[in-house]
Structure 1
Amino acid sequence: MSLNAIAQKLVEPGKGILAADESEPTIAKRFAAIGIGNTPELRRDYREMLFRSREAMTRYISGAILTEETLKQDGADGTAFIALLADSDVIPGIKVDRGTFPMPGSSGEKITEGLDGLRQRLAEYAALGAGFAKWRAVITIAEQAPSRNAMRANAHALARYAMLCQEAGIVPVVEPEVVGDGEPGDHTIERCQEVTEETLETVFNELRLAGVDFTGMLLKPNMVLAGHKAARQADVEEVARRTVETLRATVPAAVPGIAFLSGGQTDEEATAHLSAMNRLDGLPWKVTFSYGRALQNAALRLWSGRAENIELAQAAFAHRARMNSLASLGKWQGDLDRAA
């Protein structure tokens, strides 16, 4: 498949991407919250529960972002996870960055690392069957942040990553996240819009300079939201309007799709905002979801590490995936969630 064909399949109408690439510290925190340990077996069992959810995976999920561990892992019966995903016609993806580290010469800002050896790793992942990859940059809003230096350094790394992916025949998912839950976290929605627009402008300038083919990539941005401690939280329509305004100003129409991160929103907020955006006229790209927590929360709580809870957990996962499928078509309504 061409890069464009893979990208188009990932944003097929009514489908979105499952982000199952939580780092070990993140999954440990989520497992601790439900009272289970973070072992390789439990991580495998949890992800296998998701991947074997036939209704969710075949109807509503186009791709799954994995860790290297999961990409190479087999289920309890010896079936490779890659094969399980292929059986549901889900494209495997891989998180390739090595995480965020303190930005030299900057207070509290982060730079994402992982470019060293990336060309070799991408060749290996492509041979294993990965069709797309993901790299996350974190842009912080604070009194002295973001600095121009941190923004440009992260954008440059995203562009180098994207170019290496396309060279390897892998679709790059470019994720510049303006985080809303950092400290102090009291910034207005107007400030978030301003920073998000500047970030995306910087990222696309770097992608253009690097020669990245916009038709063979996807963007995974944040929505435009007030900080989690802001005095005023915008309503659903304002979030949708400001987010789409920002994207129209910065994202070339050649990009096949935009798959949002949920960024600490509640399950229903992430769905409502996505649906409101898709009700706006004349979007030049497909607009869908690439959610982790906002797809998995209810399923994880119900599963709680117990085999006897698998069917209940899978039903919860399928419900959430269906709600976001409807949202990606602009057809979600709150009463559909509350009726479940």
Structure 2
Amino acid sequence: MSQPLSDRTKSHLFSVVKRLFQENKGILALDQSERHFNVKFNAYCLENNPHNRARYREIFITANPKFTKAISGVVFSREGFYQRTKDGRLFTDILRSYKIAVGVRMDGPKSIDDDFEKRNVIIDLDTLPKRLNALKISGCDFTKAQMRLNMSQFTPELARKHAELLSLFAAFCQKVAIVPVIVIVGVYKGDHTLERCKQVLSSSLCILKATLFQHNVYIKGTVIALQWVTKGVDCPTEYTITQMAEATHDILITNIVPAMYGIMFLSSTGEEKLTTEVLNEIVKLNLTNKWRISFIFSRAVQASALDIWHGRDDRLAYAQNEFLKRIRANYLALQGNYHDFLMLKNPYTAPEPGHHYDDLFDDD
């Protein structure tokens, strides 16, 4: 069990959490691994190197500043945290000028033991304190680590092993006044049903919550992110958006405690339109409760921009417009007003460069 934090540290951590949960805002995840970029870039015959990865991240960082109306934080990989734009500006300096919190994904490829899932991403606790101190000096506000679940092979014992590691991670982060963001995500592959996914996510969240308390982690200074409930890609049963949202909301009713400021959702499938529709339905179900709901999205706001960009400078403006449009859609979903976006003419068609959807971010 970690030592209690000072009141000053608690106050700072809670202030960062409140920044991340600003009304109608979420976190942009630019923390993809090199392995993930192999898949992204191979489809467009782009070489997977630091230069191209930086140019990809620059699409979003240098987009029209209107995107800041819907983004409270950006989480990078360790590489991305220190990268610069073509003209030499640190990505993090640009974001701080917008008063956006910056974070780093901290998982690494070290396993706990032979029984731990080989494909899971694990935190190296031996080097964690040193890395956290270096990030704090560099202005890091929050860090992210994840609990990766296999729906068909899930056991409470494995979940407790995950939760133990992540609770230690959270305690280390808070000691240096960095907010830990803990993500619970399931493997989309498989034939698991909606009910199975709900059971696994609910059990994992319950176990994680209990373990955090056992390690004296300051819950108000912690962010928990959860994928929404969905079936496996090979499951033959079809479920409606309402069924997925209701199953997800049931987990909140069971597991959210007053000490938790809110909860964030990530995309379960990466499908942009579906992700926004489910988020919209969850928010509408939550209108009578006091929980803050937000998102931490990667593919769900980036995929179509990459489809447009293709690594070409002459397509950059088109890609940035597409990104702004996806951000706007989720900005409305956090209000339960996504249908307003669907009323627009051709909402899924990229606009010409020069039209940045400025009018869509005007106050209602």
* TM-score, length of structure 1 as denominator length: 0.93
How far did residue 55 of structure 1 move?
3.7
How many residues in Structure 1 have an aligned counterpart in Structure 2? Answer: 335
User: Which residue of structure 1 aligns with residue 14 of structure 2?
Assistant: 4
In structure 2, how many angstroms separate the alpha carbons of the residues matched to 1:119 and 1:107? Answer: 24
More off after superposition, 300-309 vs 248-257: 248-257
User: Which residue of structure 2 aligns with residue 88 of structure 1?
Assistant: 98
How far did residue 100 of structure 1 move?
7.0
User: Which residue of structure 2 aligns with residue 262 of structure 1?
Assistant: 267
User: Which residue of structure 1 aligns with residue 230 of structure 2?
Assistant: 225
1:164 aligns with 2:172: yes
The answer to whether the 8 Å contact 2:30/2:298 transfers is yes
The answer to whether the 8 Å contact 1:8/1:257 transfers is no
The answer to whether the 8 Å contact 1:100/1:110 transfers is no
How far did residue 113 of structure 1 move?
3.1
Q: Residue 297 of structure 1 aligns to which amino acid in structure 2?
A: A
Aligned mate of 1:206, from 207, 211, 221: 211
Aligned mate of 1:186, from 167, 172, 191: 191
How far did residue 88 of structure 1 move?
2.2
User: Which residue of structure 1 aligns with residue 53 of structure 2?
Assistant: 43
Give the match's secondary structure for 1:8: helix
1:335 aligns with 2:342: yes
How far did residue 89 of structure 1 move?
2.0
Give the match's secondary structure for 1:226: coil
C-alpha spacing 1:256/1:64, structure 2 compared with 1 (3 Å): same
How far did residue 330 of structure 1 move?
1.0
User: Which residue of structure 1 aligns with residue 330 of structure 2?
Assistant: 324
In structure 2, how many angstroms separate the alpha carbons of the residues matched to 1:269 and 1:100? Answer: 34
Aligned mate of 1:307, from 298, 303, 313: 313
**Identity within the alignment, %:** 28
How far did residue 297 of structure 1 move?
0.4
In structure 1, how many angstroms separate the alpha carbons of the residues matched to 2:179 and 2:55? Answer: 28
How far did residue 107 of structure 1 move?
7.2
User: Which residue of structure 1 aligns with residue 81 of structure 2?
Assistant: 71
How far did residue 168 of structure 1 move?
1.0
More off after superposition, 82-91 vs 268-277: 82-91
More off after superposition, 104-113 vs 279-288: 104-113
How far did residue 339 of structure 1 move?
2.7
In structure 1, how many angstroms separate the alpha carbons of the residues matched to 2:308 and 2:75? Answer: 22
In structure 2, how many angstroms separate the alpha carbons of the residues matched to 1:338 and 1:99? Answer: 46
Gaps of 5+ in 1: none
C-alpha spacing 1:337/1:22, structure 2 compared with 1 (3 Å): farther
Over residues 214-256 of structure 1, what are the superposed CA-to-partner deviations in whole Å (9 max), with x where a residue is unaligned? 1111111111111111121321111111111112211223212
The answer to whether the 8 Å contact 1:200/1:250 transfers is yes
User: Which residue of structure 2 aligns with residue 150 of structure 1?
Assistant: 158
The answer to whether the 8 Å contact 2:123/2:169 transfers is no
Q: Residue 305 of structure 2 aligns to which amino acid in structure 1?
A: A
C-alpha spacing 1:70/1:265, structure 2 compared with 1 (3 Å): closer
Aligned mate of 2:128, from 118, 129, 139: 118
More off after superposition, 67-76 vs 316-325: 67-76
In structure 2, how many angstroms separate the alpha carbons of the residues matched to 1:34 and 1:100? Answer: 31
C-alpha spacing 1:99/1:290, structure 2 compared with 1 (3 Å): farther
How far did residue 111 of structure 1 move?
6.2
User: Which residue of structure 1 aligns with residue 357 of structure 2?
Assistant: none
The 5 A counterparts of 1:264-279 are 264-279=269-284
The answer to whether the 8 Å contact 1:54/1:88 transfers is no
Give the match's secondary structure for 1:112: coil
User: Which residue of structure 2 aligns with residue 250 of structure 1?
Assistant: 255
Gaps of 5+ in 2: 1-10, 348-364
The answer to whether the 8 Å contact 2:108/2:121 transfers is no
Give the match's secondary structure for 2:227: coil
Over residues 201-221 of structure 1, what are the superposed CA-to-partner deviations in whole Å (9 max), with x where a residue is unaligned? 110011000111111111111
Q: Residue 310 of structure 1 aligns to which amino acid in structure 2?
A: L
